[in-house]
Amino acid sequence: MLFRSLVGRYSWSLSPGTTASLRVMNHWLDFGRPDKRDVVLFKSGAELYSRLTEECGISARADYRNEDDTRFGTTRGFQINSELKYTFRQMNISTGVEVNMLNRRSDEIDGSYIYIKLKRFF
């Protein structure tokens, strides 16, 4: 597999606990044998993060996705995510919602996910 990538990101502080960022990325993937396929993925998006307390933060992100895959065709659309995260020592507890509004092969692939995630790290 051959992977090439070009990524740009700009972040700025809106207040001591709040940051905003914009990003643009383009990926080129070339899968070799035995399953030859090429993928070109362009994503751009914006994110807003705010630290509510020392342990708690909230974020919201919106991305535009444009993907051309020689096997699965084109996928275009938006992905929106919002998350609340609480960190205590070596543990994260997150809850959020993810909304996908994508079109692939002229079919709409819409989905909404509500999740709770517990992550312990050492």
At residue 107, the pLDDT reads: 76
What is the model's pTM?
0.80
C-alpha distances in angstroms, 6 versus 40, 42, 52, 73, 98? Answer: 11, 10, 33, 22, 25
Residues near 85 by beta carbon (within 8 Å), at least 6 away in sequence:
56, 57, 58, 59, 92, 93, 94
Going residue by residue through the chain, which has 122 residues, state the pLDDT in tens, using 9 for 90 and above: 788 999 999 999 999 999 999 999 999 999 888 888 899 999 999 999 999 999 999 999 999 999 999 988 899 999 999 999 999 999 999 999 999 999 987 777 788 999 999 999 88
What is the per-residue pLDDT for 34? Answer: 82
Residue 45 burial (CB count, 10 A): 19
Say if CB 27 and CB 3 are below 8 A apart. Answer: yes
Through-space distance between the first and last CA atoms of the chain, rounded to whole angstroms: 32
